[in-house]
Homo-oligomer: A and B are copies of this chain.
Amino acid sequence: MVAERTLAGPCTAWPQDSAFIREVLDRIGDKWTVLVISTLGAGPLRYSDLQASVPGISQRMLTLTLKELERDGLLTRTAFPEVPPRVVYELTDLGRSLHEAVLSLAGWAAGHHGEIAAHRRAHEESGVGRAKTNQLLRKH
């Protein structure tokens, strides 16, 4: 009891927000989800166009991502019973609202990634600069 501890037993700083935060991140934190959502943000697309619009994605990942997004009600899948199959994917209102939320995050990134890059470079200079001067004392 040295002074006051802003501490907080097991998990109190972020009451139950942490659960929500992790929920979104588990949802959009993967490699492709936001790319697909952003792409569909411009309008409905069919499977093949989607694959062409999201550069490095494989069919496997595109299919899996779309399935999960459909399952969560973020987009709709519409299959037309035609001779050459045609399936169109489109964001739902829920999906569009997520898209906007993600865009605001992207806005933050656009506004600060320069700062981050600068800090990162500064650390590389003083940290990985010369492996000669630092044997075992490198703290700023």
Contact = CB atoms under 8 A, between A and B. Distances in A.
Interface of A: 5-14, 17-18, 20-25, 27-30, 34-35, 38-39, 41-45, 49, 52-55, 70-74, 79, 94, 97-98, 101-106, 108-110, 112-113, 115-116, 118-120, 123, 139
Nearest to A64: B140
Contacts of A74: 116
A38 B17 contact: yes
A82 to B, nearest CB: 12
A104 to B, nearest CB: 6
Which label, helix, strand, loop or mixed, suits the secondary structure of the A interface? helix
A13 B34 contact: no
Contact of A109 (B24, B29, B34, B43): B24
Contacts of A139: 79
A66 to B, nearest CB: 13
A13 B29 contact: no
Contacts of A13: 38-39, 41-42, 53
Given A29-B25, A71-B120, A115-B73, A38 B11 contact: no
A34 B18 CA distance: 8
A97 B108 contact: yes
